[in-house]
Structure 1
Amino acid sequence: MMKYNVVNKEDKSYIMFNEIESKIHSEADMLDIISACFESGINSVMIDGRIIADEFYDLKTKLFGMFLQKIINYKIKVVFIINEERTMNDRFKELALELNKGTDIRFYNNAEDAQEWLLR
């Protein structure tokens, strides 16, 4: 099970995944994130990009697509904090820009903006 923290702020809560020892690199890790939401009754998640394995950014692996489908199906709001653009290839950047137009998934390069969006 992946480690996480529940953050309470402004009468709202979200789950923070930022434990460097717990990398997201498989479908099982994605299911851990969803399980954490159900266990805590919280459907908002912040994920530190440093815990995402490189395979996740490679759209050919289909890992990110599977994750998107699961969070959409379970109506989970997710924000990713990705500080280093070098980890994202051009196709992933295009997808991130497109997803940022929606209401369920966002990408930010700092925790402050990510939290502000997540708590809306």
Structure 2
Amino acid sequence: MKIEKIMTDEANIAVVSSEERIIVDTNSALDLIMTVQYETGADRIVIDKDAVSEEFFILSTGIAGEILQKFMNYRIKAAIFGDYSKYTSKPLKDFIYESNHGKDFFFVATREEAVDRLKKKL
């Protein structure tokens, strides 16, 4: 896992990338949150979609809700970037739409867009 720290006037952001899945369940999400906070002090995290388990995107598993709740509990704002075009589930599309209209968790196409979303004062 690689963690890059981006400091701006508005925010302290950590960008996380990995060649292996690092978010597979709630415990691994919590481990990521704690590692990022310890290593960078960031309260905003950009995550490469490839580092997230595919089960996260199957809403019926409940994993996405549990993981988002961990982020909310620890007051972490996050954006996952990647290609979502292969997903055809209407509930998932609705979930992504609603998340993107909130202020805490976003699903975007590019790393730059993720950083920009988290830079904004929310």
Q: Which runs of 4+ in 1 moved over 6 A?
A: none
- State the Cα RMSD in Å: 1.7
Equivalent residue number for residue 8 of structure 1: 6
User: SS at 2:79's partner residue?
Assistant: strand
Q: Are the equivalent residues in 2 in contact too, given 1:44–1:76 (CA < 8 A)?
A: yes
Q: What is the rounded CA distance, in whole Å, between the counterparts of 1:15 and 1:87 in structure 2?
A: 27
1:92 aligns with 2:99: no
**1:66-102 deviation digits (Å, cap 9, x = unpaired):** 0111111111110110223214632111101011111
TM-score w.r.t. the length of structure 2 is 0.85
Q: Are the equivalent residues in 2 in contact too, given 1:6–1:13 (CA < 8 A)?
A: no
Task: Give the unaligned 5+ runs of structure 2.
Answer: none
Q: What is the rounded CA distance, in whole Å, between the counterparts of 1:26 and 1:58 in structure 2?
A: 13
Equivalent residue number for residue 73 of structure 1: 73
Q: CA deviation at 1:103?
A: 0.8
Alignment coverage as a number of residue pairs:
118
Q: What is the rounded CA distance, in whole Å, between the counterparts of 1:50 and 1:9 in structure 2?
A: 24
Q: What is the rounded CA distance, in whole Å, between the counterparts of 1:69 and 1:119 in structure 2?
A: 21
Q: What is the rounded CA distance, in whole Å, between the counterparts of 2:42 and 2:88 in structure 1?
A: 28
Q: CA deviation at 1:23?
A: 3.4
Q: CA deviation at 1:41?
A: 1.9
Structure-2 change in CA distance of 1:42 and 1:52 (3 Å): same
Q: Are the equivalent residues in 2 in contact too, given 1:96–1:106 (CA < 8 A)?
A: yes
User: SS at 2:46's partner residue?
Assistant: strand
Q: CA deviation at 1:57?
A: 0.6
User: SS at 2:22's partner residue?
Assistant: coil
Residue type of the alignment partner of 2:98: E
Q: CA deviation at 1:9?
A: 3.9
Equivalent residue number for residue 115 of structure 1: 115
Residue type of the alignment partner of 2:93: K
Task: Give the unaligned 5+ runs of structure 1.
Answer: none
